[in-house]
Chains A and B, each alone.
Chain A
Amino acid sequence: MAVGLPESASVRGARALAVARAVEKRFGEIRAVRGVSIELEAGRIHAVCGENGAGKSTLLKVLAGMLVPDAGEVVVGGARLDPHTPREAIRRGVSMVLQHFALIPVFTVLENLMLGAEPTKRGALDEASARARAQAIADDLGVKLPLDERVEALGIGDRQRVEIARALFRDARLLILDEPTAVLTKSEATQLYATLRRLVQAGKGVVVVTHKLDEVRDHADVVTVMRRGELVFSRPLDRDGDVGAQIDAIGSAIMGAGSVAHARAGDAATGAGDAAASGGGEALVMEGVRVGRGLVDLSLTLREGEIVGVAGIEGNGQKELVAVLGGDVAPDAGIVRGGPFAIVREDRQTEGLVLDASLRDNVVLGELGRFARWHGGIDREALEREARARIERSGAPTDLDRLARTLSGGNQQKIVVERALSRSARVVVAAQPTRGVDLAASADIHAKLRDAAARGAGVLVISADLDELRKLASRIVVLARGRIVAELPPTATDEEIGRHMLGLEGERFDGATP
């Protein structure tokens, strides 16, 4: 319970809590981590950066005992991690918070905290002492934990706090977080880093995997960059020096020399053309739409040729918005006029693709009816022509017999986007179109969405990434508690958008904020 130690106790000579030496990890043919050595120390926030598939998560999972390395060794708490299991790593004070939370939704917060480190008394669970301990941790973290609430009833930020509290519940000294801010809003992320800073000041070590360089700039003490399974460098951020230059260096290290300029150039092309197209007809009109408890009273107009961004904290109606536009549910009230629609769903692995089917099947998924003859047989030549054309446009590998599972996340997403855009829809809805996708593929996908708009479709982009929205959209609407609460230009700052997302602007007059 050494969380809230006074400032003076913060560690000076940083000690290595966990060390990887020449760690090697293969998945089949792929060498995910290639002979990487790294030291993770107490008293620091250590950012690990790299593109998707650079091996960051794999390396850290090896350090946390979740994956067994093929070669090299892992030293935790001064001795080789043996047996190489999460249980042993936890015992020695290393806990990892995964990107997909490892919380059990139907368990209460307290049950989740206890699991794996249960205090017992005479053979039964000792709930009272677990409760006291949880309370103490919550106090130290400066957060409130609803101990008797089921986790499924909590929002994403709360769940993350539970995850962190859980690691502390089992006396973690080194806390590893895998892309903790991927699903958080800016202000939630800021809160998270404040909590992490407290932990670091109390002498713990914190490792954060992230894509986001602004977070590195604002919060990291040490930065490690990985590319293609290899360690590019690992060094402290010199706060007294030119931080901007250091961040630029990190950026080019992540992308590999040369490719930065390309990605930047792609990103720089903002939705300038959209304004010109804003005179187009209405592609989608939503008026007073209500869906369950998710959408309360949503009104929105999308014109042809326009890209509109939807910002908002996850769980404020995004899911219902996609569901109603995707035709999964009918609105309980209100009007939805427009279409036909093409939807890029949020989770490509479970909703977007059939991973164990060929690219041929995936690129025309759900459209077999178009190729069916009267007797139910498929016109295979026509299907082959269409699939070939699409896959070539998509920019993904063109071997149609390949299984979707074998593609990288970025290429998988390209297939999903291409399929949606091939349907010549008047309204394109893209939910988190580049989540977990590397920079190069993101740029490709953004270009495609812009093309679709240029061809006259109305494009609605729902994303947690405000930078993405700013890059693409000609206007950003903010979704909060099931309504559109604000419409802002793409030049709006994070703080501005954030206030609306949190509902702080409410009924107040502009400029009347204290």
Chain B
Amino acid sequence: MKDVASRAIGDLFRTPAVAGLAAGWLAFCLLVWLYGASPREMAGLLFEGTWGTSYGAGQVLFKATPLLFTGLAVDLALRAGLFNIGAEGQLAVASLAAGVVGSRLPHGTPAIVALPVTLAAAMGAGAAWAAVPALMKARFGAHEVISTIVMNRIADGLVGLLLASGLALAGSVRTADVVPGARVPRLEVALSAFRGSAVSFAIVAAVVATVAVMVAHERTRFGREIGLIGKNARAMEAEHVPVRRRLAQALVASGAVAGAASLGTVLGYKGYFEEGLGAGAGFGGIAVALLGRGSAAGLVLAALLFGTLQQGGLALNAHVPKELMDVLQGVVIVAVALTDVRLRRAVSAAPVASTKGAG
């Protein structure tokens, strides 16, 4: 009996989610203790600052919103076997586009026009930014990991450059306010429990988008084809599925979804874009995608977990540095990957020029 029980517990720890949480918790205790604080006390503070109050919960949802979008974006590319490490840069240019377009619409533009136009601009910018590595992949077989990383750096510089050369309000690094019609209302409008918290209806949009994309993976030609390409590109090539084009399209689509994360930051929170807004969400999205891979529920839960860590980091910052949470994120990623066999087989790095034609 005892044997059965201990084996059951052992199996439990071998499931990715539990292993991730357990490793994260151990690392948290260890790091906090090394830093000279009391793990129990800090855990208490962490809970109070997040799920302990409705305000805290709202803040977690607020932090989780862009993470869910970028997580969904990274997951989309991952299905095709592509590692989109460029969500960070894609989101940066998308946010700038949202800020610029949203603020230049005529002031009275109704929401039914303003919001879609602004969102389209953001997603278009994200897609365009992803199109560069996508084309490099399709045309030259350049590995998307390196090119998307490099594109992140270029996005950093370019956003700063564009803000400095006229897109920002004079003497600042922010755009003008977007028109009221382009703003996503706060959730507190509908649910007074979230009063004061920055969470907006963008979280609802993010969840809906996640479910929709997951359904599309199953039920559309594009979704199914990229999934099969991710599992064996050569076989699809042999069947004359345009593999390279599909890969490029998947990366561009991923960029567009990453760009939609500006709903939660520019349109749902600040109401304008400023340099650095949303930074980190792109990398966080990679963690979300790895943890929640393959299912809508997984992605949502992963986004909530990392949202909790981020918000919790802020709650603890007076006692231990909030960057501790980045270390935790790394530990959780490794623990999850160690226990998730799917991840090992499906993601295993495709050789650089794997999608080149046979001839």
Contacts and interface: CB of A to CB of B under 8 A. Distances in A.
Contact of B358 (A328, A352, A371, A376): A328
A356 B219 contact: no
Given A356-B231, A357-B228, A361-B228, A378 B236 contact: no
A74 to B, nearest CB: 29
Given A327-B240, A354-B231, A372 B221 contact: yes
Nearest to A353: B235
Contacts, number: 70
A376 B220 contact: yes
B185 to A, nearest CB: 30
Interface string B183-220: 00000000000000000000000000000000000011
Contacts of B358: 323, 328-329
A327 to B, nearest CB: 7
Given A323-B358, A361-B228, A352 B346 contact: no
A367 B227 CA distance: 14
A372 B223 CA distance: 11
Interface string A305-336: 00000000000000000010011110000000
A366 B359 CA distance: 20
A238 interface: no
A385 interface: no
Contacts of A376: 220-222
B136 to A, nearest CB: 23
Interface in A324-365: 326-329, 343, 345, 350-357, 361, 365
A34 B241 CA distance: 43
A298 B142 CA distance: 36
Interface in B48-84: none
A355 B231 contact: yes
Nearest to B228: A354
A353 B232 contact: yes
B225 to A, nearest CB: 6
B221 A328 contact: no
Contacts of B222: 376
Nearest to B229: A354
B345 interface: yes
B236 A354 contact: yes
Contacts of B345: 356
Given A328-B358, A356-B346, A351 B235 contact: yes
Interface in B331-359: 345-346, 357-359
A351 B219 contact: no
A380 interface: yes
Contacts of A328: 237-238, 357-359
Which of the listed residues B220, B236, B238 has the most CB atoms from chain A within 10 Å of its own CB?
Answer: B238
Interface of B: 219-222, 224-225, 227-228, 231-232, 234-241, 345-346, 357-359
The 4 A-B pairs of least Cβ separation, nearest first, read A366-B239, A329-B359, A372-B221, A354-B232
Given A351-B234, A366-B238, 11 more contacts: A292-B359, A350-B235, A361-B228, A366-B236, A366-B240, A367-B239, A371-B221, A376-B220, A376-B222, A378-B219, A378-B221
Interface of A: 292, 323, 326-329, 343, 345, 350-357, 361, 365-369, 371-372, 376-378, 380
